[in-house]
């Protein structure tokens, strides 16, 4: 009898074949009886014969005349069944039919689950592992085998792996756990399910546990699919295994299954085969601390977090496609290719991988770990060391209560050393992640350089992502430490962000306790000063190929992605900026764009961030820029396009003194989104002695090409579609991967002029990888023969003079019956129509048969969205150069979160599809 479960749970029933269900080929189903045995142990308990239901694609592979290269052994958890793996079975067969390597799929229904036999026994974890072994013995399963598990099926499959290492060539798992920390409670949903008054009623007598699991799918399951999951569990007599599985969760060391879980956890840590860990971050049960534990145990594992997905990961996300891609890369013929054995990422040594807080980087990043992108590496903080005896200004803070505050090189260098020593004394170790929730200024600069000096990895997520985006970013990065001002610490506490906390401000004791603050930055610096005064040395400097930073993308084309840079790559960013624009020691730099504010000290430039709300670039005024220029006698100004637009719009408030300050500027840069010639020209009117440049880059590579105002003007008369972003910067290679008729960049990268496709860049200062996004990183490198290469996701072409033209984003390409349409060219032509401000192109309808819709802002602005007037529609259609299904007007086009300047074409497409389909004409 199962402890704590109602008597009805003891019902028995034979195994059966499932009824017809969506997505499940009846040819896959089979029943296999495992004969009675004693497990081969003298005097051991006899195990009765048991019959399993499983899915097996061997028959169809045989019918295709294909010999599999190996077997995928798939194990479900609770309360699902082998139906969970239907897409894996289907996709592997499709791959075999297409001539690719064929993998046999065996997906089992564990005993008392799915359509396998109902036994009325309590199956402990050790029993389930042995039972699975008995089944694979009966099947005569031989290697090579790759296991794929989910939920507690992940633990069972890994237990099987530990017992069958001679057969296993790889392991893959979705949301699971092999260790329950002693100092952390099991997740709240499981605590509730295990309560004596709830266990039987919630898991067996009623389908509550099952229904709750189905309800947390993201997106919501279609009714037929949800019913398929319900099919084996209709009636309390069929749900005994659901309750038994919950009852067997090892909540602490006294639980009967705790020892087996510990055995499996130890065995997993010894695995040397390729590993893939897939994760749904919205899982309320398998929290990300379990992902951290898995990565610590298997530091060579490839990791992919499917942002937005949750517990039912194989239904929430493309697990099947990810597994097939991974098998193709790691085990192309059923075994690792020569030289393809897993290795630890540089910067996460084996002896540190299991230490508290170490975050080994996923194994997909281990490629080219020995490649030093910056021979003769000069550390990022080298200028601070060079200028540590200088009393000249290093940076100026404008937004302070007492007026501008100047920090000298001497003070900045000393504070960096003190904070570095203090952090090291607190226990911040190389590889630890430190989230910086601090606005640009002296505190952020000191902390950032202190962290990189001791080998900690700084996590920088722009507040412009918004609270929701920032929460996703910080949780995904899994920082060990959080250093923040009051707003950031309050958000961290309220939203449960991970990491031990250090405040940049002094707080009263009650506030410290409420926010979970352990130290203040002043305390850390004093601690470090005492250590240094006592003769202590800073830790050894990190190597150039050790990870240095995780910077997050803008989130304008999907959830913000963490971009990992090594020390060598960040130094290469510094070097290319210095070479391209002559920024160095003695340069005064106004940085209205956070990455360049932080790079100022690395360049030896005295820098200042203008007084503005960093989350809203359009709050920057012309007077604030002039004040910042005057504060550091700046000759270089860097602003985002949205900020620059508001500077131009507020120019009438400038005084004579302001204009004199701006006249001293010799170079201004604007990047992050397309910048028009008109905006650059207007900015030049304010800074008449400055050369206007607009670099092209992205978070993954901050400077790829550059063009000046004269280049932009000359490009205006060229016949090319798109925005000219100039020629490659020093050390940058630009090529184009041609688009096919479906809008996919399937062609080999080329530098041939006039070819439209995805922009592919390569340079020493391109990012190392995406953080815990193995598949995303893989896609960004497909077909790129340079280890420093990156597929940008931008679409464009090179002209005969070697200039790059950007025509839009890959996901915004419209696939019409007459061919692909890139959006920027039509948008530019439409914006030349009288009465039109900005324009956005959107595609509606199915891929391959899409129709093009133009959405425009009018001048003066329309009061509400609607169809364009007949005259405006005619003019827009005539100018567009492509057939338009409709012309719509809106008061304001939607833009991205961070830059406030990129038109959100994906949102436009969804909106246009809705309103043209009969939906309400509301603002997009």
pTM of the model: 0.89
Q: Lowest mean pLDDT: which of 7-11, 113-117, 311-315, 866-870?
A: 7-11
Cα 729 from chain centroid? 27
What token pair was written down for 318? 């493309």
What token pair was written down for 84? 């969970």
- With bands split at pLDDT 50, 70 and 90, how would you rate the model's confidence at 368? very low
What token pair was written down for 606? 């005295």
Q: Do residues 606 and 600 make contact, with C-beta atoms less than 8 angstroms apart?
A: yes
588-591/606-609 β-pairing: parallel
Give the pLDDT confidence score for residue 355 in this predicted structure. 32
Average of pLDDT values for 843-853? 94
Q: Lowest mean pLDDT: which of 36-45, 56-65, 523-532, 905-914?
A: 36-45
Tell me the CATH number for domain 45-337. 3.40.50.1820
Cα 382 from chain centroid? 31
What token pair was written down for 682? 């207007």
- With bands split at pLDDT 50, 70 and 90, how would you rate the model's confidence at 899? very low
Give the pLDDT confidence score for residue 360 in this predicted structure. 33
Give the pLDDT confidence score for residue 618 in this predicted structure. 78
- What tens digit of pLDDT does each residue of 731-755 get? 999 999 999 989 999 999 999 999 9
- With bands split at pLDDT 50, 70 and 90, how would you rate the model's confidence at 353? very low
Give the pLDDT confidence score for residue 797 in this predicted structure. 97
What letter does residue 227 receive in the DSSP assignment?
A: H
Cα 845 from chain centroid? 29
- What tens digit of pLDDT does each residue of 120-172 get? 888 999 999 999 999 999 999 998 999 999 999 999 999 999 999 999 999 99
Give the pLDDT confidence score for residue 470 in this predicted structure. 80
Give the pLDDT confidence score for residue 354 in this predicted structure. 31
- What tens digit of pLDDT does each residue of 170-201 get? 999 999 999 877 767 777 777 777 777 777 78
Sign of the dihedral through C-alpha 324, 330, 336, 342: negative
Distance from C-alpha of 596 to C-alpha of 695, rounded to nearest angstrom: 13
Give the pLDDT confidence score for residue 439 in this predicted structure. 82
Helix/strand/coil for 29: strand
Of all residues in the chain, the percent with pLDDT exceeding 70 is 92
Domain map of the chain by residue range? 45-337, 716-765+774-812, 814-916
Q: Do residues 159 and 135 make contact, with C-beta atoms less than 8 angstroms apart?
A: no
Give the pLDDT confidence score for residue 551 in this predicted structure. 92
Q: Lowest mean pLDDT: which of 272-276, 439-443, 688-692, 793-797?
A: 439-443
Helix/strand/coil for 199: helix
Distance from C-alpha of 503 to C-alpha of 512, rounded to nearest angstrom: 9
Distance from C-alpha of 359 to C-alpha of 432, rounded to nearest angstrom: 7
Give the pLDDT confidence score for residue 41 in this predicted structure. 53
C-alpha distance from residue 163 to each of 144, 266, 363, 563 (Å): 14, 12, 24, 38
- With bands split at pLDDT 50, 70 and 90, how would you rate the model's confidence at 408? very high
- What tens digit of pLDDT does each residue of 209-228 get? 999 999 999 999 999 999 99
Exposed e or buried b per residue across 742-752, where buried means at least 16 C-beta atoms within 10 angstroms of its C-beta: ebbbeeebeee
Give the pLDDT confidence score for residue 3 in this predicted structure. 55
Distance from C-alpha of 414 to C-alpha of 784, rounded to nearest angstrom: 44
What letter does residue 619 receive in the DSSP assignment?
A: G
- With bands split at pLDDT 50, 70 and 90, how would you rate the model's confidence at 266? very high
Domain 716-765+774-812: CATH superfamily, name plus number: Luciferase; Domain 3 (2.30.38.10)
CA atoms within 13 A on the CB side of 562: 30
Give the pLDDT confidence score for residue 361 in this predicted structure. 35
Helix or strand (DSSP H, E) at 70: strand 70-75
Average of pLDDT values for 639-643? 87
Q: Do residues 286 and 175 make contact, with C-beta atoms less than 8 angstroms apart?
A: yes
Of all residues in the chain, the percent with pLDDT exceeding 90 is 73
Domain 814-916: CATH superfamily, name plus number: ANL, C-terminal domain (3.30.300.30)
- What tens digit of pLDDT does each residue of 757-792 get? 999 999 999 999 999 999 999 999 998 989 899 999
Q: Lowest mean pLDDT: which of 346-355, 492-501, 526-535?
A: 346-355
- What tens digit of pLDDT does each residue of 592-626 get? 876 677 889 999 999 998 888 766 777 899 999 99
Longest dimension (CA), the chain: 99
Q: What is the mean pLDDT of the chain?
A: 89
């Amino acid at each position: 009898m199962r402890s704590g479960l109602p008597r009805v749970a003891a019902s028995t029933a034979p195994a059966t074949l499932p009824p017809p269900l969506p997505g499940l080929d009846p040819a896959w189903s089979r029943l296999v009886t495992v004969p009675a045995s004693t497990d081969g142990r003298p005097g051991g308990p006899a195990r009765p014969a048991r019959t399993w239901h499983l899915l097996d694609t061997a028959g169809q592979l045989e019918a295709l005349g294909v010999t599999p290269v190996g077997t995928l052994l798939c194990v479900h958890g609770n309360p699902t069944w082998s139906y969970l793996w239907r897409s894996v079975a289907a996709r592997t067969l499709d791959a075999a039919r297409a001539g690719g390597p064929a993998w046999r799929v065996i997906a089992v229904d564990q005993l008392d689950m799915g359509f396998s036999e109902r036994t009325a026994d309590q199956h402990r974890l050790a029993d389930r592992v042995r039972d699975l072994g008995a089944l694979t013995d009966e099947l005569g399963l031989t290697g090579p085998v790759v296991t794929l598990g989910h939920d507690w099926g992940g633990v069972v499959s890994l237990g099987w792996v530990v017992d069958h290492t001679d057969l296993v060539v790889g392991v893959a798992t979705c949301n699971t756990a092999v260790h329950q920390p002693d100092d952390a409670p099991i997740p709240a949903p499981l605590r509730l399910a295990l309560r004596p008054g709830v266990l039987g009623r919630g898991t067996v007598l009623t389908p509550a546990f099952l229904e709750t699991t189905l309800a947390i799918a993201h997106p919501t399951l279609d009714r037929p699919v949800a019913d398929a999951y319900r099919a084996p569990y209709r009636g309390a007599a069929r749900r005994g295994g659901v309750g038994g599985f919950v009852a067997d969760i090892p909540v602490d060391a006294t639980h009967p299954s705790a020892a087996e879980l510990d055995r499996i956890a130890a065995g997993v840590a010894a695995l040397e085969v390729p590993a893939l860990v897939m994760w749904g971050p919205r899982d309320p049960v398998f929290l990300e601390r379990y992902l951290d534990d898995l990565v610590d145990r298997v530091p060579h594992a490839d990791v992919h977090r499917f942002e937005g997905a949750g517990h039912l990961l194989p239904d929430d996300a493309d697990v099947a496609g990810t597994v097939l891609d991974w098998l193709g890369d790691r085990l192309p013929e059923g075994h690792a290719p020569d030289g393809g054995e897993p290795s630890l990422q540089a910067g996460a040594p084996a002896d540190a991988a299991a230490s508290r807080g170490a975050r080994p980087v996923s194994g997909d990043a281990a490629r080219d770990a020995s490649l030093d992108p910056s021979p003769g590496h000069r550390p990022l903080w080298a200028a601070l060391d060079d200028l540590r005896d200088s009393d000249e200004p290093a940076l100026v803070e404008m937004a302070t209560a007492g007026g501008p505050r100047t920090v000298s090189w001497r003070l900045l260098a000393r504070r960096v050393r003190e904070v570095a020593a203090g952090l090291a004394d607190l226990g911040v170790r190389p590889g630890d992640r430190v989230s910086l929730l601090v606005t640009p200024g002296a505190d952020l600069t000191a902390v950032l350089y202190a962290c990189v000096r001791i080998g900690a990895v700084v996590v920088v997520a722009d507040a412009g992502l918004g609270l929701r985006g920032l929460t996703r970013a910080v949780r995904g990065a899994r920082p060990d430490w959080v250093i923040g001002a009051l707003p950031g610490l309050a958000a961290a506490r309220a939203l449960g962000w991970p990491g031990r906390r250090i405040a940049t401000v002094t707080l009263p004791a009650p506030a410290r306790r409420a926010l979970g603050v352990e130290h203040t930055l002043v305390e850390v610096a004093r601690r470090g000063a005492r250590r240094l005064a006592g003769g202590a040395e800073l830790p050894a400097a990190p190597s150039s190929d050790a990870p240095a930073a995780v910077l997050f993308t803008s989130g304008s084309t999907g959830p913000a992605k963490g971009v990992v840079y090594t020390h060598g790559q960040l130094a290469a960013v510094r070097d290319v900026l210095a070479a391209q624009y002559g920024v160095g020691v003695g340069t005064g730099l106004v940085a209205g764009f956070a990455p360049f504010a932080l790079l100022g000290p690395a360049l030896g430039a005295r820098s200042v961030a203008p007084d503005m709300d960093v989350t809203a670039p359009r709050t920057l005024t012309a007077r604030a820029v002039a004040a910042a220029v005057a504060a550091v006698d700046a000759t270089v100004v860097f602003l985002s396009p949205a900020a620059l637009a508001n500077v131009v719009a507020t120019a009438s408030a400038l005084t004579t003194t302001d204009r004199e300050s701006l006249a001293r500027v010799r170079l201004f840069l604007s990047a992050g989104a397309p910048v028009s010639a008109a905006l650059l020209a207007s900015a030049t009117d304010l800074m008449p002695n400055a050369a206007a440049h607009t670099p092209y880059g992205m978070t993954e590579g901050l400077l790829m090409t550059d063009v000046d105002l004269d280049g932009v003007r000359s490009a205006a008369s060229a016949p090319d579609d798109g925005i000219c972003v100039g020629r490659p910067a020093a050390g940058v290679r630009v090529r184009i991967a041609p688009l096919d008729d479906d809008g996919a960049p399937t062609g080999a990268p080329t530098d041939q002029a006039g070819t439209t496709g995805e922009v592919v860049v390569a340079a020493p200062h391109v990012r190392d990888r995406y953080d815990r996004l193995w598949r995303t990183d893989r896609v960004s490198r497909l077909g790129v023969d340079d280890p420093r290469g990156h597929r940008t996701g931008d679409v464009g072409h090179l002209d005969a003079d070697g200039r790059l033209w950007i025509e839009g984003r890959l996901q915004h390409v419209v696939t019409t019956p007459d061919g692909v349409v890139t959006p920027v060219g039509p948008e530019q032509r439409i914006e030349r129509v009288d009465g039109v401000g900005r324009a956005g192109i959107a595609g509606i309808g199915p891929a391959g048969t899409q129709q093009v819709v133009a959405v425009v802002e009018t001048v003066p602005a329309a009061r509400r969205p609607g169809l364009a007037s007949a005259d405006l529609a005619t003019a827009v259609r005539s100018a567009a150069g492509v057939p338009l299904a409709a012309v719509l007007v809106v008061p304001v086009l939607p833009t991205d979160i961070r830059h406030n300047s990129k038109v959100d074409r994906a949102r436009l497409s969804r909106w246009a599809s809705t309103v043209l389909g009969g939906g309400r004409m509301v603002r997009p």
